[in-house]
Amino acid sequence: MNKLRTYKSDKAVELIKEFKTLSVEVKRLTDEITKLEEERNKVAIKGQKVKDKLNPMVEKLTKEDQSEFEVVTKVESNEAGELVVEFANMLEEWKKAWRERNKK
């Protein structure tokens, strides 16, 4: 059996009460963070689903204009309701990176 003893210390009792209050606040904030993370994940999944629908459409629209080493890097819409697609030439990007790496 454990031994229990009592001691008189108003300051220690005060600190214990403050600690308990802060612990409750930490728990509340942790629960709120968890709820927000779950909400963010749901929104991210919806965004990914939209992106998964958009990518094949953009690929089909741009297939004729895209060269062998080009990839779509950005897709936006303008005020006229048209898609604005940015391409990057990956071969040129690789060459640029290779030159930078091998500078003397």
The encoded tokens of residue 74 equal 């950005």
78 Cβ neighbours under 8 A, 6+ residues apart: 84
pLDDT of residue 54 exceeding 90, the answer is yes
DSSP secondary structure of 24-59: HHHHHHHHHHHHHHHHHHHHHHHHHHHHHHHHHHHH
- Domain extent listing, the chain: 9-63, 65-104
Give me the chain's average pLDDT, please. 93
| pTM flag (> 0.75) | no
Q: What is the pLDDT of residues 71-87, one digit of tens each?
A: 999 999 999 999 999 99
Measured in degrees and rounded to the nearest 5, phi and psi for residue 101 equal -65, -30
The pLDDT confidence band at residue 104, using thresholds 50, 70 and 90, is low
